[in-house]
Structure 1
Amino acid sequence: MDTNTIANRLGALLLAAAMLAGCAKHAYAPAEESVRVPEANMTKPGSGSDAGGAAKADLGVLLAYEHQIRIRMPGERIAARASEVQAACNAGKFGACAVLGMSQSGGDDPSATLQVRIVPDGVDKLIGLAGKGEEIAERSIQAEDLATAVRDNSLRQDRLRKEHARLLEFQDRKDLKIADVMTLSSRIAEIESQLQAAEQEAAQQQRRISTQLVTLTFQTTRAQENTGEVGEAFKDVGGIVTGTIAFLIRAFAALLPVALVLTVLVLLIRRIRRARRKG
Structure 2
Amino acid sequence: MAYGFAKRLLAATLAVGLLGACSKHNAATMEESAAVPMADLSKPDAGGSAPSPAKADLGVLLAYEHRLRIRLPGERIATQAQAVQAACNGGKLGACAVLGMNQSGGDEPSATLQVRIVPEGVEPLIALAGKGDEISERSIQADDLATAVRNNTMLQDRLQKEHARLLEFQDRKDLKVADVLTLSNRIAEIEAQLQGAQQEAAQQQRRIATQLVTFNFETTRAQASRSEIGEAFRDFGGIVAAVIAFLIRAFAVLLPVLAVLLPLVWLIRRTLRKRRKA
User: Shorter-normalised TM-score: what interval?
Assistant: 0.7 to 0.9
Please tell me the residue identity of whatever aligns with 1:217.
Answer: N
How far 1:123 moved relative to its partner? 0.3
**Residue aligning to 2:52:** 50
Query: 2:195 aligned with 1:196, yes or no?
Result: yes
Query: 2:117 aligned with 1:125, yes or no?
Result: no
Gaps of 5+ in 2: 1-45
**Residue aligning to 1:243:** 242
For residues 250-271 of structure 1, give each alpha carbon's deviation from its aligned partner in whole angstroms, at most 9, with x where no partner exists: 3333333433444565577679
**Residue aligning to 1:72:** 71
Please tell me the residue identity of whatever aligns with 1:176.
Answer: L
More moved, 94-103 vs 226-235: 226-235
How far 1:133 moved relative to its partner? 6.7
More moved, 116-125 vs 250-259: 250-259
CA distance in 1, matches of 2:167, 2:138: 53
**Residue aligning to 1:21:** none
Matched ranges for 1:1-279 at <5 A: 50=52, 53-54=54-55, 57-132=56-131, 135-263=134-262, 265-266=264-265
1:162 partner SS: helix
2:111 partner SS: strand
More moved, 155-164 vs 166-175: 166-175
How far 1:275 moved relative to its partner? 10
CA distance in 1, matches of 2:86, 2:154: 41
In structure 2, do the counterparts of structure 1 residues 172 and 256 end up closer, same or farther at CA, with 3 Å as the change threshold? farther
TM-score norm. by structure 2 comes to 0.74
CA distance in 2, matches of 1:92, 1:207: 17
For residues 163-201 of structure 1, give each alpha carbon's deviation from its aligned partner in whole angstroms, at most 9, with x where no partner exists: 111122222222222222222222211111111111111
- Percent of residue pairs identical: 73
In structure 2, do the counterparts of structure 1 residues 275 and 185 end up closer, same or farther at CA, with 3 Å as the change threshold? farther
In structure 2, do the counterparts of structure 1 residues 158 and 237 end up closer, same or farther at CA, with 3 Å as the change threshold? same
In structure 2, do the counterparts of structure 1 residues 122 and 197 end up closer, same or farther at CA, with 3 Å as the change threshold? same
More moved, 161-170 vs 144-153: 161-170
2:115 partner SS: strand
More moved, 174-183 vs 251-260: 251-260
2:178 partner SS: helix
CA distance in 2, matches of 1:233, 1:186: 67
Please tell me the residue identity of whatever aligns with 2:68.
Answer: I
CA distance in 2, matches of 1:196, 1:261: 79
The answer to whether the 8 A contact 1:73-1:134 is kept is no
TM-score norm. by structure 1 comes to 0.74
2:52 partner SS: helix
1:50 partner SS: coil
CA distance in 2, matches of 1:251, 1:115: 50
CA distance in 2, matches of 1:248, 1:158: 74
Aligned residues: 233
Gaps of 5+ in 1: 1-35, 44-48
For residues 50-78 of structure 1, give each alpha carbon's deviation from its aligned partner in whole angstroms, at most 9, with x where no partner exists: 37x32xx3211100001111111111000
How far 1:110 moved relative to its partner? 1.1
CA distance in 2, matches of 1:69, 1:101: 15
Give the alignment's Cα RMSD to 1 decimal. Answer: 2.8
How far 1:219 moved relative to its partner? 1.2
In structure 2, do the counterparts of structure 1 residues 129 and 274 end up closer, same or farther at CA, with 3 Å as the change threshold? same
